[in-house]
Structure 1
């Protein structure tokens, strides 16, 4: 066991202590909050992911809105898979045999246990996008999740844009800016962008089909660099939730700053 693992396991984290930590960081009743999380970074949590979700709900109350990404990247074109790739002779069979996305039953893929549990919590709803869905609970849950467009799934017709409209906040709970999905909204808002084809299994007119749609090539490999610069200009509340170093920020400020960053980057290349 490493020193870091020993430190994490030596502290008991409970729902009550999580509530205290969340409030100390600045999370308040009535907020709209998009959460990206790593349960393992929090430490030894009594009640595990259930305690984390309930703590967030109790702090926000039903006057607030709790949102988490519930993405399903495995319902995508197998020709694009890299980690790991699959044999090309499998591609068409995978497209035919992949079950259609169903917001009620399709599990998340590599999103962590917190959002995977949250999607099936009581009174949680989930947007209907085959790879980029979000789940929400609370006052504005339907406003956030309804009308999630198939094309450009993290763009103007996405839950990210609705969180922006609500002047929501982003909590990075034990994760860094590479997990900060809101920054993709800024990429979609660029005046110059290249659309690329994607595909997923969906239900259409009562039948399962393989549906092609458009997305863009994302650049999350530079999100940590952007995040460091963002923190020099805007307030980002920092602290620990359990043992997890966490950041709380205004989503609109983040999206607008990221938009300007990519716009300036594009202009400088001309």
Structure 2
């Protein structure tokens, strides 16, 4: 399917309009993306070469197809745009809270569910407000932030919305480094968590790689401090400093994560399936750490970054 996307500013509340025309004509979706304060006009054009999609699954049934067991620790990175489009095309609505509730039921009371609620404005001198800074990592993550059964971790750049057994443990973390040994990423490693990636490439979702890079002290990144106004959960403001293991722009370092994702698939550490035309990939993070570490030590991190010789 071919997506043509046009973006323009338009200060409205969230709106979704779906018009179905006779076969062969365009389907137009109008979606307001709150965190970007932009509207997306998605024109979905039929592609004669495209194979028919397999059986359409309703929201509540999608979760039942996922490899999640009671007691699992699961991190979910997602772009649900295509899921929403396919639901509308089939006369349904993709219900974000139904989906989240389904994941909760799968991990159960002994499990823990995390959504990345990252926002990089603090890196540019912006204010982090614990209760009001939105996630820039998708609609599903912002839905989780608004739920009373989730708690947000406290790092101003790499925070998570968390439900389950370990949510208080994660909330109590006070890591300064984004990817440090006392961060939620280290927790995911030690707990042998799974990462579920929905509708995204590894390049745009697999942040766990940067935790491994920091732990293994790669030389193409370095620790950089960022300071800004931090408004905590009690409404108290103060200037705080946090750090991130960033790529070295002076060396023209370009992050390229897809190759390591492909390697994980070859080794069956990442397993993918397609549901409603959308990829769902599960990565076993403990095993993934060793593959990433191996690439750093024995392959010069060749499947993690490249040098842009034109810059």
Q: TM-score, normalised by structure 1?
A: 0.78
Distance 1:3 1:217, change over 3 A: same
Q: Over aligned residue pairs, what C-alpha RMSD do you find? A: 3.0
Tell me what 2:215 maps to.
Answer: 189
Correspondence for 1:2 among 39, 45, 58: 45
Is the partner of 2:121 in helix, strand or coil?
coil
Distance 1:61 1:255, change over 3 A: same
Tell me what 2:166 maps to.
Answer: 140
1:10, CA displacement in angstroms? 10
Tell me what 1:40 maps to.
Answer: 81
Distance 1:186 1:106, change over 3 A: same
Flag the structure with higher helix content. Answer: 1
Correspondence for 1:167 among 169, 192, 205: 192
Correspondence for 1:29 among 57, 70, 77: 70
2:249 paired with 1:208: no
Flag the structure with higher strand content. Answer: 2
Correspondence for 1:62 among 99, 103, 109: 109
Gaps of 5+ in 2: 1-43, 248-252, 303-311
Tell me what 2:179 maps to.
Answer: 154
1:196, CA displacement in angstroms? 1.9
Tell me what 1:232 maps to.
Answer: 266
2:132 paired with 1:105: yes
Bigger RCO (CA 8 Å, 6+ sep): 1
1:9, CA displacement in angstroms? 10
Distance 1:208 1:187, change over 3 A: same
Q: TM-score, normalised by structure 2?
A: 0.69
2:154 paired with 1:128: yes
C-alpha separation in 1, matches of 2:52 and 2:240: 45
Distance 1:182 1:265, change over 3 A: same
